[in-house]
Structure 1
Amino acid sequence: MLVVLIGADSSSSCAAALSGTGLQGGTGASIDGLSDGQLQLARNGVAIGIQRGEPEQVIIAELVAQATESTLRNLANPAVPDSLRYSNDGLGHDGDSVGPHQLRASVWGSVGIATLMNPIYQINWFYDRADTITGRDRMSPAELAQAVEVAGVNAYAGQLTLAHQLYEEFAHLAPGAMPAVEAGQPASGCGTNGSSAPLSAAVGGFGAVIIAAAQKWVGTPYVWGGGDSTGPTGGGFDCSGLTLYALYQASGGRIRLAHYTQAQQDDPAAQVIPFDQRQPGDLIFFTSPGQSSSHHVVIYYGRNESGQDLVLHAPQSGQSVTVAPLWAGDRLDVRRFSMPAAAAGGSHD
């Protein structure tokens, strides 16, 4: 497994001021096959382009590049362990590439991982590079995307239809309605806020890989009995289907849990952990007062800026996989799973 180490950086700010700060929050848009997280990345591609005064074709090129490189997702990568500490939309496994534009940590990592995992930084990176290319305004969006990304294979034309659709969806954004861009200020989303926020001061290692495996399904519907080791079944996950999937994927198939909460809680590989020693990636089981078997399981996600515990889970019918505050009322039992010793240092693919 390729492991790339990036110099430590402050999580409180990004390394450099950026030319466009983008927008935060839900989009209110709906495009078949795309989650709101994907739409937020696309909207920021358009918003930052408008803030910077980029031509339409250049903005479309940025959308084409995002869609091709990462399917509009901010991807962490187990080969870059520090990337797993930051909020992400799932795992990528392309060398040491991270983020929506799949920037190589060994090439672009001098800015620090907090910056490299910030989608706002990566979108500005694309426009900065595009602005230096001679004759860019005579290039098609696919040609410009290739010129910026310098990919081994030019596959960008395959996403042109989607890119045009996304541009039309968000082209109405007006610079005056967006946050003012102030010289010397870090981008929106840097540091402890927004999409580049650290998951937790303690998150890392195998627990972070568990979180990343489950997190890519945020927004997927709850389906009773749904989920297996390969992904959703019947259109979704239930609580134990999501956890068995996450543990199987994170361990490269070495941890195979039953599709039942109490069986997962009692699994021989599960280490009993006192609640006050919980860490991100631990499983927390809920047992109702007076009952002997747990009825729900979540993945402990970490704490937010207010110190509130967060969990990642598939809640109940009518809801979707989500990150939510941890609640009280039931008995809570914490279990920790570790990568089997025989696989230490191996790939998580």
Structure 2
Amino acid sequence: MAGLNEAKLKLARNGVAIGKQRQMPDSVIVAELAAQATESTFRNLANSSVPESLSYSNDGVGHDHDSVGPHQMRVSVWGSVGIARLMDPTYQINWFYDQATKTAGAEQMSPPQLAQAVEQSAPAAYAGQLDLAKQLYAMFADIDPASMPAPQAGQPPAGCGATGSGAPLSAGGPFGQAVVEAARRWIGTPYVWGGGNQDGPTGGGFDCSGLTLYAIYQASGGQIRLPHYTQAQQDHPSAQPVPFEKREPGDLVFFTEPGATDSHHVGIYAGRNEQGQDLLLHSPQRGQNVALTPLSAWTGEHMDVRRYTPTSTTTTAEVSANDEAGQRHR
């Protein structure tokens, strides 16, 4: 199960938990896991062809027709329920079980056969994820439905609760949203010290300032090329200081430890989730992946907010000078 980070394991766990809440047979739950593994590799995916989906926290941005979510439901087919529901992983997991319940002979089908009957994929590929699905089911098989919150009247089971993905993001300007979108597609990518440039990951991943320089460069159409060093990004000529209370999605947030003079970490402010928590989109540290993390994780550190605005006055000389200064550390 290498490569399954905590966000992916949460989706798998909810697949099992909701299945157990609904008293689904083991084979049907395994089918749901195999479908998630095949369709999205356990990610709640937005889609660049469905702009509304980008307004919801997600685990990456896909490009397959108009498919969104862990089960890659087509907006053109299932969109009458609204994009908020389609971007809710618990809704999509319940959708799979609803469709399985309506499928004649579902309990007699093998998990790959049932996944194919529900997803109607072409070609069928679910057998390739069967071993992983069985391992994940075994990992979470002892979940007790009685330990989970009871569904509210008229509402489907929610399993273990929110996975941290699928909540609406607070709105920001077009450039800020483009910054968030550019970085969001790399959620799940490993942290690599010194990794990342204006074209994407290098050495297999990003460090914190590599991700932010990439996102700003892409969103600005190449007008703003930040150095690969947090403090130099914070001091860059294109950086506009913004009061913390005026932060908007797409702003960069720099973190400085008490008593230090240079910031040691940077991420992209991504708005608030439905619980009102501020979210940071960032590449955390060695051994972790690009992720959305509550900003409260840095309580006690000084936070500086910077906003970048595309302008043709950013010069190559300014960029080169900061690039040279930024070689000290990441």
What TM-score range do you get, normalising by the shorter chain?
0.7 to 0.9
Provide the residue aligned with 1:301 in structure 2.
Answer: 270
Go from structure 1 to structure 2 and tell me whether the alpha carbon gap of 1:96 and 1:56 turns closer, same or farther (over 3 Å shift). same
Secondary structure of 2:165's counterpart equals helix
Distance in structure 1 (CA, Å) of the matches to 2:40 and 2:79? 18
Provide the residue aligned with 2:179 in structure 1.
Answer: 210
Q: Deviations over 1:322-342 (max 9, x none)?
A: 5233657657251235699xx
* 1:167 aligned onto 2:170: no
Provide the residue aligned with 2:55 in structure 1.
Answer: 85
Report 1:273-312 matches (<5 A). Answer: 274-275=242-243, 277-285=246-254, 296-303=265-272, 309-312=278-281
Secondary structure of 1:109's counterpart equals helix
* 1:120 aligned onto 2:90: yes
Provide the residue aligned with 2:105 in structure 1.
Answer: 135
Aligned residues of 2:151 and 2:158 also touching (Cα < 8 A): no
Alignment match of 2:120 (pick from 137, 150, 156)? 150
Provide the residue aligned with 1:24 in structure 2.
Answer: none
Provide the residue aligned with 2:36 in structure 1.
Answer: 66
The gaps in structure 1 that reach 5 residues or longer are 1-30, 341-349
Secondary structure of 1:163's counterpart equals helix
Go from structure 1 to structure 2 and tell me whether the alpha carbon gap of 1:229 and 1:130 turns closer, same or farther (over 3 Å shift). farther
Distance in structure 1 (CA, Å) of the matches to 2:79 and 2:303? 44
Go from structure 1 to structure 2 and tell me whether the alpha carbon gap of 1:251 and 1:60 turns closer, same or farther (over 3 Å shift). farther
Alignment match of 1:178 (pick from 148, 163, 167)? 148
Distance in structure 1 (CA, Å) of the matches to 2:230 and 2:5? 28
Q: Deviations over 1:53-96 (max 9, x none)?
A: 11111111111111111010000112211211111101111111
Provide the residue aligned with 2:196 in structure 1.
Answer: 227
Shift of 1:239: 1.9
TM-score of the two chains, using structure 2 as the length reference: 0.77
Provide the residue aligned with 2:328 in structure 1.
Answer: none
Shift of 1:223: 4.1
Shift of 1:167: 1.0
TM-score of the two chains, using structure 1 as the length reference: 0.73
Cα-Cα RMSD = 3.7
Shift of 1:247: 3.9
Aligned residue pairs total: 308
Secondary structure of 1:166's counterpart equals helix
Secondary structure of 1:312's counterpart equals strand
Letter of the 1:226 partner, please give it. G
Shift of 1:209: 4.6
Aligned residues of 1:85 and 1:203 also touching (Cα < 8 A): no
Q: Deviations over 1:236-265 (max 9, x none)?
A: 532211212334566787865442345545
Aligned residues of 1:284 and 1:335 also touching (Cα < 8 A): no
Bigger helix fraction? 2
The gaps in structure 2 that reach 5 residues or longer are 313-330
Provide the residue aligned with 2:304 in structure 1.
Answer: 332
Secondary structure of 1:334's counterpart equals strand
Secondary structure of 2:306's counterpart equals strand
Structure 1, 209-218 or 289-298: larger mean CA deviation: 289-298
